[in-house]
Amino acid sequence: MTWTRKDLLGLEYLSREEINLILETAESFKEVSSRDIKKVPALRGKTVVNLFYEPSTRTRVSFEVAAKRLSADVINIASETSSVRKGETLIDTGKNIEALKADILVIRHNYSGAANMLAEHLNISVVNAGDGWHEHPTQALLDIFTLKEKLGRIEGLEVVIVGDISHSRVARSNIWGLNKLGAKVTVCAPKMLIPAGIERMGARISYNIDQALENADAVNVLRMQFERDNEEAFPKQLEYFKDFGITRERLKRAKKNILVMHPGPINRGIELSSEVADGPGSVILEQVTNGIAVRMAVLFLTAQAGEEKK
């Protein structure tokens, strides 16, 4: 199939075929990172702007590396150094970036729907690098890419997502993407961290991590966002680790070759033990590597579609 969307806003909006096209394109780009000269001219002459309103290391750097390996020019803008501090609106910021003849705007924002709003007002391509509690599509795509690379398929896999489901855009994007590709998804967390209506997205709910892991092919461990803690909205850290932390002892009761994933940054001793994070089943660093190939694919496909629509 041919990619026709100038924007990537979330996996909820994509078809199974579109997701597979991104994964196939990423597979072709992954080889670039193994070359002595890690660069192809696919986006030569294009400009990618990374506009981040939230702190980020992995995602921003990954997009920057991906754009440079495609030979694009890259501009990084953090909200602390932008005209937002002078009262400029998000749409005005976007329009000014468009007026500078940028081709792709990668946006991370703390408000859900920010990327969608920009896409409605701009002619250039908009890529969602995480918006509020809504979606983080490229993180889910690199998670799915890693699963497929390690296990050979997505159809029929049992994937457990454990942790702060309520505040997780990563969880939502993974649920949309994995379900569309035929995986079975279980979310596991304390009741206070399971959002209402999550079943309607196609996820099963478990409040017992040991039971959830029994038949799982992979467990995606989310970061506990303790900075959002207020009025007992979160369990205590040591209590959480005891009840839901992924440890070597806990994994002994799971499938022998279960994969352990994490979007980062890791809170060791809270979400999972160091033995697990650095253990043989961990693919956490492979996720980081695969993120470059996936984001190269996304930038390439959206740029091509955006060019056709000009």
Do 172 and 261 fall within a single domain?
yes
Do 163 and 87 fall within a single domain?
no
Whether 239 maps to a domain, the answer reads yes
DSSP state, residue 132: T
Whether 277 maps to a domain, the answer reads yes
Do 63 and 162 fall within a single domain?
no
Do 274 and 144 fall within a single domain?
yes
How far apart CA 38 and CA 268 sit, in angstroms, is 33
Do 180 and 221 fall within a single domain?
yes
Do 117 and 191 fall within a single domain?
no
Whether 47 maps to a domain, the answer reads yes
Q: Return the CATH number at 52.
A: 3.40.50.1370
Whether 3 maps to a domain, the answer reads no
DSSP state, residue 249: H
Q: Global pTM?
A: 0.95
Do 145 and 274 fall within a single domain?
yes
How far apart CA 275 and CA 223 sit, in angstroms, is 17
HSE-CB for 98 with a 13 A CA cutoff: 17
Residue 44 has what pLDDT? Answer: 97
Whether 5 maps to a domain, the answer reads no
Do 85 and 160 fall within a single domain?
no
Per-run averaged pLDDT (10 residues), the chain, 310 residues:
95 98 97 91 98 91 98 89 65 96 97 96 98 96 98 98 95 98 97 93 97 97 73 72 95 95 94 96 97 98 83
Whether 2 maps to a domain, the answer reads no
Do 271 and 259 fall within a single domain?
yes
Range of the domain at 217: 137-287
Do 225 and 144 fall within a single domain?
yes
Work out how many domains the chain is built from and give that number: 2
Angle (CA) 37 41 45, round 5°: 130
